[in-house]
Chains A and B, each alone.
Chain A
């Protein structure tokens, strides 16, 4: 193992480590930053501090079991990770899920997206030096997590999806509590704008920082809010609709600023669109079965299947290779954070360390999603 000496080279550059233990890297991300003074010349990410070989473990688990490993990949959108895996198995078995299961899956996805964006907003404020957003974001998030706990039994890693639909039916209090939450959240949303959006210090720190051109965004494979802030339309719910998203009305917020402030605006607007989707669905949950009939031991026919969902970070793809046995042969998770991280070097070159913190905060990375 080579040891890097922090020497000053002839050009005056030196290499420092940011992370893996650092409050602003949102997980265990180790960045080797080459600096000249305070200006960044190069960033090299070193990963693997939370690599748990989920892909290898999935090869040893059965088709019913591997779904539960994936809640821990991007733990802030755990429901959507499980939905992607369940959809991959359903595609292989050519299974149709009942309408009640589709609507409840959509409701849970949008609530998870809201919870993830609230945590993102809270951590963004904290990284840039504002303490109050952290408390406000978590206060609103607690209501959603309490709703999850009543229905699914867990606050973060819900494990509510199975191939064929849902594991159990929703609690009778579900619809009432969601409506109360929506009313409270609509009242609190102006506070979010009051604290950060119009704040002159916030605007100076984020406008014009971390430019990512549209050609680079496509070449780096960026998805989610990172690509939408550069003018690229890429919402999986619009381009490749799944599980009933073609029946709801919502817009895809697109900005053309390409900087940190645009990424911030896109996510705030995504929160408002999620509220709109939940309002359309919460009074019209169809009656009926919540799970399609399936065998106890599932065997997906030989072949390859690719499904994609829109998580809070971008497009999550599950590439399932099956050889006809009762365990998957190979599963590859195309994680959104992996591709978004590869654009970090381009975005941060020429900026200062303080700008790097702002860029990382608006990229919204979750490191277990990258390391798997």
Chain B
């Protein structure tokens, strides 16, 4: 599918999507609608995004993005979907672990370092740090003993 066709396909699912033209096509949707769009993108034969090669979190101070980079090996198109989470006190989004198996471990890492809870994840636990640690990759993380500001 070309960029225009992908834009139309996603706008049919979620009309309020915001598109950006960057290195790949970026589509920004709200966190509550992201799971349904991802499932359709994975299962529909025209899009067939079977390879999720990167899932990451970005903290933009007022909101979070969970960024999904995916590519279709058959159709050879790439898409970046960003799910916007505006709740900073209790951020949560539905898990993509049953759509792509690789999302299970990536989401463990995002939960560990950002604190974003993934609903319906098979076994959400802290991966690198222990339960008493904060969430280090947030921009407002403060640690007087370990971080030295020059």
Contact = CB atoms under 8 A, between A and B. Distances in A.
Interface of A: 1, 46-48, 51, 53, 55-56, 91, 216, 218-221, 223, 232, 303-306, 315, 317, 319, 321, 329-330, 332, 334, 338-339, 341-343, 346, 371
A55 B137 contact: yes
B150 to A, nearest CB: 9
A48 B109 CA distance: 11
A339 B56 contact: no
Interface in B102-139: 102, 104-106, 109, 113, 127-131, 136-137
A47 B136 CA distance: 16
A53 B128 CA distance: 10
Contact of A315 (B53, B130, B131): B53
Contact of A47 (B24, B54, B128): B128
Given A319-B69, A342-B102, A371-B128, A218 B50 contact: yes
A218 B105 contact: no
A48 B101 contact: no
Given A56-B137, A317-B53, A342 B105 contact: yes
B59 interface: yes
A342 B22 contact: no
B100 A51 contact: no
Contacts of A220: 101-102
Nearest to A46: B127
Contacts, number: 76
Nearest to B138: A56
B51 interface: yes
B100 A219 contact: yes
B18 to A, nearest CB: 15
A317 B54 contact: yes
Task: Tell me the interface secondary structure of chain A in the complex.
Answer: mixed
B136 to A, nearest CB: 6
Contacts of A319: 54, 56, 67, 69
B56 A221 contact: no
B33 interface: no
B129 A51 contact: yes
Nearest to A307: B23
Contacts of A317: 53-54, 69
Contacts of B24: 306
A221 B100 contact: yes
Interface string B32-63: 00000000000000000011111010110000
B22 A48 contact: no
B73 interface: yes
16 contacts: A47-B127, A53-B136, A56-B136, A91-B23, A220-B101, A221-B100, A221-B101, A305-B23, A319-B54, A332-B56, A334-B53, A334-B54, A334-B56, A338-B109, A339-B105, A342-B101
A1 B133 CA distance: 12
A47 B129 CA distance: 8
A25 to B, nearest CB: 17
Given A221-B52, A342-B104, A48 B127 contact: yes
Contacts of B53: 221, 223, 315, 317, 334
A219 to B, nearest CB: 4
A220 B105 CA distance: 10
Contacts of A329: 58
Contacts of B59: 330
A219 B105 contact: no
A347 to B, nearest CB: 12
A1 B130 contact: yes
A15 B136 CA distance: 31
B54 A332 contact: yes
**Of listed B67, B101, B109, B131, residue having the most chain A CB within 10 A:** B101
B58 A306 contact: no
Contacts of A48: 127-129
A338 B110 CA distance: 13
